[in-house]
Amino acid sequence: MPRPALPTIKSRPEHADIRARLPLTCCDWPLEKGSADSSLRNLTSPSANLQLDDDWHWPRRPVIFISDPHADPQAFEASLVASGGVKLKDTAGSGHFTLTKAGRKAEFIIGGDCLDKGPSNLQMLRSLKRLYDTGASVTLLAGNHDLRLMMGLRSMQQKRHTGNAHLFARMGKKVIPLFREVLDAEPGRNWLKGVPDADTCRKRLLPGEDWFERFPDHARGILTEAGIARELKKMRSKADSFERHCEAAGMDIRTVYAVARHCQKLFLKPRGEFYWFFKRMQLVRKRGSFLFLHAGLDDAMGALIARRGLKTVNKRFRKALKGDLFSFYYSSLANTFRTKYRAADLPLTEAGVEAVQSSGIRALVHGHINRTRGQRLALQQGLLHLEADITLDRHSRRQEGLRGVGCGATIIHPKRHILGISNDYPFAKVFRPETFNAAR
């Protein structure tokens, strides 16, 4: 069977660096044990509960999936170019690009975690908005980093209680670059006008000692004892270090309070520049036999999808964002953008997988778990997961020992194949279900 063609990237000076970093040829998705992608060694086992049959349905048009850009607009725009969906008018990251013919025919699904890490949250959001403004078909999925900002800002608007007093500090140090960017964007603004004293700001933003005493009783029945202990440990570290990290970025607690209030206007008010960001966000998207989401599923979500359908799931997500934030953040809905299938996460068992498969879903496509050798296929209780967080942002890449800016995209094509493109793997990986059937 001939291998699919790689996306066409226009021969333009703006694309030269991107073209030079991308693979030139395709290979079948590696299967052999000990390969660069050895996660597939169990996929061909007869005991694997995979649905690799003729019942797979493919999207009607190509789906371009890009996830976890983490405030790196250059990596985001380079990935759009790598998909063949856009052409640059200027350097990547400038927000100056237009759709190609292929981009007009495709659907772009952005897998969440657009915020945090850097180098520029604001330019990343503007680049994403530019994608909408081109007339592209865009679906934006909720990521844990994105929603932590929303919950932190919303918690400031609510009467403080045990369930929400920790949500601002829970954003942690990763939100500080965004606050610094917002501060620097208006150097002439009198930021401290009307801002209360430092102790008052501290009490409004950070959990006090009494919160650590009350939280176990409040969370019991929602979290496991192990989950409660994990949350207390995490919050102790974040609360104790938050001001120190802010001061390292040149902001005292009063300035942080002022900037956070301004972020409420930017993100939560209809006239705010980034109000569209949370407004357009969805939890899940299904195309053909593929379910797109940020992280993964558990049994309760599998049952809900099978029983009520994805429209109901997204409606419940939108409603939950306006309700009790504590109940939402530790629920199955939020597990969808948080899980890494750890012991502390809500479980996915064979029962959940059977429910998901009964609704016609054969594979999950998600981000959240960064990979350093391109996209990976993996199994969770026999359910196929396509892990497509290919470490785009330069902050994460430095931590992982990777060079430069990341670049790549995952394309699910109507011609019954998946193409995984990454500048960190020498070939574009090609997956076809029939290939795996033959191997089995």
Over residues 250-262, the pLDDT tens digits come to 999 999 999 999 9
The stretch 316-329 carries a mean pLDDT of: 93
Give CA–CA dist 220/215, Å, rounded. Answer: 8
Contact status, residue 360 vs residue 289, Cβ threshold 8 Å = yes
Which pLDDT score, from 0 to 100, does residue 48 have? 53
* Between 184 and 439, residue with greater pLDDT: 184
pLDDT above 60 for 381: yes
Q: Which residue type, as a one-letter code, is found at position 119? A: P
pLDDT above 90 for 49: no
Give CA–CA dist 332/346, Å, rounded. Answer: 7
Supply the DSSP string of 388-431, one letter for each residue.
-----SHHHHHHHT--S---EEEEEETTTEEEEEETTSSSEEEE
Strand order from edge to edge, sheet including 408-413: 26-28, 428-431, 417-422, 408-413, 63-66, 107-110, 137-141, 281-282
Q: Would you tell me how many other CB atoms lie within 10 Å of the CB of residue 240? A: 11
pLDDT band at residue 437 under the 50/70/90 scheme: low
Whole-number percent of the chain with pLDDT over 70: 93
Residue range 109-160, pLDDT digits in tens: 999 999 999 899 999 999 999 999 999 999 999 999 999 999 999 999 999 9
> Which tokens in the block code for residue 95?
């927000």
* Between 222 and 256, residue with greater pLDDT: 256
Which pLDDT score, from 0 to 100, does residue 38 have? 44
DSSP letter, residue 134: T
Which pLDDT score, from 0 to 100, does residue 406 have? 97
In order of start, what are the domains of the chain with their CATH numbers?
Answer: 13-142+283-439 (3.60.21.10), 147-267 (no CATH)
The stretch 400-420 carries a mean pLDDT of: 96
Give CA–CA dist 361/57, Å, rounded. Answer: 9
Which pLDDT score, from 0 to 100, does residue 34 have? 42
pLDDT above 80 for 91: yes
Which pLDDT score, from 0 to 100, does residue 223 have? 87
pLDDT band at residue 30 under the 50/70/90 scheme: confident
Give CA–CA dist 356/289, Å, rounded. Answer: 10
Which pLDDT score, from 0 to 100, does residue 45 have? 54
Provide the whole-model pTM.
0.94
The stretch 333-342 carries a mean pLDDT of: 95
pLDDT band at residue 47 under the 50/70/90 scheme: very low
Radius of gyration of the chain (CA): 22
Average pLDDT across the chain, whole number = 93
Supply the DSSP string of 311-369, one letter for each residue.
HHHHHHHHHHHTS-HHHHHTSHHHHHHH--S-TTSPP--HHHHHHHHHTT--EEEE-SS
Residue range 239-291, pLDDT digits in tens: 999 999 999 999 999 999 999 999 999 999 999 999 999 999 999 999 999 99
Taking Cα atoms as reference points, which of 225, 116, 125 lies closest to residue 173? 116
pLDDT above 80 for 412: yes
Taking Cα atoms as reference points, which of 28, 78, 106, 47 lies closest to residue 422? 78
Strand residue runs (E) in 100-144? 107-110, 137-141
pLDDT above 70 for 50: no
> Which tokens in the block code for residue 241?
């270090």
pLDDT band at residue 43 under the 50/70/90 scheme: low
Q: Terminus-to-terminus CA distance in the chain, angstroms?
A: 18
Secondary structure class of 69 (helix, strand, coil): coil
The stretch 55-59 carries a mean pLDDT of: 92
Q: Which residue in this structure is represented by tokens 């996460």?
A: 345
